[in-house]
Structures are given as structure tokens and as C-alpha cells.
């Protein structure tokens, strides 16, 4: 009996430090979008730092909620993580009639990674060179101009809805399964305009294939310091932005969350990772679990009010 008691009291001899096998990072959007690009920056840095492969898996669809659901239902052992985004964690609870996960309870925030400005861009065939001209063109158009988005319920969708509501124009929303497909039709002129995360559009802005009219936030983007915000351009009341962070399934042990948060902080601060993020238009912005949790709660309240005001629906 004494030996049995000692066996139960002692830690298991076969316990292994975390991580002891490959870790999966799920991105809820297709390759080429901001979530995918940032997930790959994190995967590269964490693989090197932690001695195990961190592998990105894309599970696109439904504004990132398909990928989020996969993580919510995963074993909470630190081996399945989410590159979470504003849409899946804070917009989805308001815009979907029902979700297969509870955004507030089924995840443990690990760390904020970056914030990303949202840019208003148009196909060069659109006869508008600033945001106020676009409002005038939209109001004069015989049929609603079409705005693309990476999917119902994502930031580009809500930004377009807010633009319509605040400026009194009528646009037609055209949702796609990911930013890459939306961008293809915007570049070809099949749709006329789009609000999108800066990493997705920056190359096309710099090449002249798209015309950037403004940043839809409360400050200018570091990557395009000469591009005004919508408010500066005379189009007020359209302030949106995206954040991206690492989340684990609810119930993940504190020790694992602490290890991951510490390593993500180092990754975000590393010069090479910062350079990669800034080159794509992202702005590194680490937050530890407690602060990240507060941000998610505040953003959830904000987007619920916006969804109610615009009447936007994902279903």
C-alpha cells in the first residue's frame, strides 16, 4: 500500500516537456491572405525557437469560423492552435444566427500578434481618385457598384456595410471564399471596389494594379504613410481594423499557455519577423493573455453594435 501511494504521488517518469511533437496552427482562410501569411511567420519563428515543427493548416470558409470550430473542438493539449482573427472571434457571435462554438468559452487567448490596417481600394477603371469622389460616383451610378469581400461576416464585408450606411450609398456585396478569389475579380474589373486587409492589397497598390483611396481606421498605415484615413479624406464614421492573434482550445493548461505566450512575444519582437510583417503591411503588436482577453471582449461588444446598426447577415 505504501509503494502504491508513493507511485501516485510521484510525477510520471514518462512526462515530456512541451512541445514534444509537431504543433498545428490552423488559419481559417485560404493561402495568400493576411491570416495565412501571419500564421506562417509565427510558425517559422516558433519552429526554430521550440525545436518542433509548427505547421500551418488552412481551413477556409464562413469568415474563419470553420477553422475556429476545428480548434474549439481539438484536444486542449497545446498541439492545435488557431491564428485567430477579428471576424471569427468577435464578429461571428453577432453576425451568425448560430455558431458551432462559444467564442467566449471555447478558446484561451495566448497572445496578440499584429494589427492590420484596412484599405479601401478600387479597380483603376473606377473614375474616383479619392474617397469623396467614390461616394459621388456610387451615388450617380445607374446600378449599385459591387464591392467584394473575403466572405460573409469578415472585416471587408462589415467595412463595406458601414461605408454604405454612413455615406448613404447603395452597394452590392459580392462575397468570396477567401481574399485571393476576391482579389482576382477586383483586379479583372468584375467587381469595382473592396475594403481589405493591407497585406492582401499592398503589392497591387504599389504596382498600380489597384488604386488605394484611403485607410479605414483612426490612423494612417505605416506602410503607406501618405495615404489618408477616410476621416481625413472627408468620409467620416468608417473606422475598422483587424487584429490577429494566437488562441488555444479552452481548457489548455496554464503552463502551456504561458510557454506559448512567452515564445510568441520573442517571435513578434524579432527583427526578421517584424521586417516580414511590416513588409506585408502588418503592424506587430504583442499582448499577453490577460490583455488579449480584454481586447476580445471589447471588440465583441463593438462589433455587436455595428452588426445591429447595419443589419448585416452572414447566413
Q: What is the phi/psi pair of residue 112, to 5°?
A: -75, 140
> How does the average pLDDT of the chain come out, rounded?
91
Give me the residues of the chain with pLDDT under 70, please.
Answer: 1-15, 314-315
Query: In CATH, what class is 21-115+241-310?
Result: alpha beta
Instruction: Assess contact for 228 and 216: CB atoms under 8 A.
Output: no
For the chain, the structural domain boundaries read 21-115+241-310, 117-215
Nearest partner of 228 among 154, 129, 302, judged by Cα: 129
**Nine cell digits for residue 48:** 526554430
DSSP for residue 144: P
pTM: 0.81
Which fold does the domain 117-215 belong to in CATH?
A: D-Maltodextrin-Binding Protein; domain 2 (3.40.190)
What is the distance between the terminal CA atoms of the chain, rounded to a whole angstrom?
61
pLDDT digits (tens, 9 = 90+) for 209-258: 999 999 998 899 999 999 999 999 999 989 898 899 999 999 999 999 99
Amino acid at each position: 500500500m505504501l509503494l502504491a501511494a508513493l507511485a501516485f504521488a510521484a510525477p510520471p517518469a514518462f512526462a515530456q516537456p512541451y512541445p514534444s511533437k509537431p504543433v498545428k496552427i490552423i488559419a481559417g482562410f485560404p493561402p495568400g491572405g493576411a491570416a495565412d501569411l501571419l500564421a506562417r511567420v509565427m510558425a517559422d519563428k516558433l519552429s526554430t525557437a521550440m525545436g518542433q515543427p509548427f505547421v500551418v493548416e488552412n481551413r477556409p470558409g464562413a469568415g474563419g469560423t470553420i477553422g475556429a470550430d476545428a480548434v474549439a473542438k481539438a484536444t486542449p493539449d497545446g498541439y492545435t492552435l488557431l491564428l485567430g482573427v477579428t471576424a471569427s472571434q468577435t464578429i461571428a457571435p453577432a453576425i451568425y444566427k448560430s455558431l458551432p462554438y462559444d467564442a467566449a468559452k471555447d478558446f484561451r487567448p495566448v497572445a496578440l500578434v499584429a494589427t492590420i490596417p484596412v484599405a479601401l481600394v478600387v479597380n483603376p477603371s473606377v473614375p474616383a481618385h479619392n474617397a469623396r469622389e467614390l461616394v459621388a460616383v456610387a451615388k450617380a451610378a445607374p446600378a449599385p457598384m459591387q464591392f467584394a469581400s473575403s466572405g460573409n461576416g469578415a472585416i471587408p464585408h462589415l467595412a463595406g456595410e458601414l461605408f454604405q450606411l454612413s455615406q448613404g450609398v447603395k452597394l452590392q456585396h459580392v462575397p468570396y471564399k477567401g481574399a485571393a478569389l476576391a482579389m482576382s475579380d477586383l483586379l479583372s474589373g468584375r467587381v469595382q471596389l473592396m475594403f481589405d486587409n493591407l497585406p492582401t492589397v499592398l503589392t497591387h497598390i504599389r504596382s498600380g494594379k489597384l488604386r488605394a483611396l484611403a485607410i479605414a481606421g483612426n490612423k494612417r498605415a505605416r506602410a503607406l504613410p501618405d495615404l489618408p484615413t477616410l476621416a481625413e479624406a472627408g468620409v467620416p464614421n468608417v473606422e475598422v481594423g483587424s487584429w490577429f492573434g494566437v488562441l488555444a482550445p479552452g481548457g489548455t493548461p496554464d503552463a502551456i499557455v504561458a510557454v506559448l505566450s512567452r515564445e510568441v512575444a520573442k517571435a513578434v519582437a524579432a527583427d526578421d519577423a517584424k521586417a516580414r510583417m511590416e513588409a506585408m503591411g502588418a503592424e506587430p503588436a504583442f499582448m499577453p493573455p490577460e490583455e488579449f482577453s480584454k481586447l476580445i471582449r471589447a471588440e465583441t461588444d463593438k462589433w455587436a453594435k455595428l452588426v445591429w446598426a447595419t443589419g448585416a447577415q452572414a447566413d
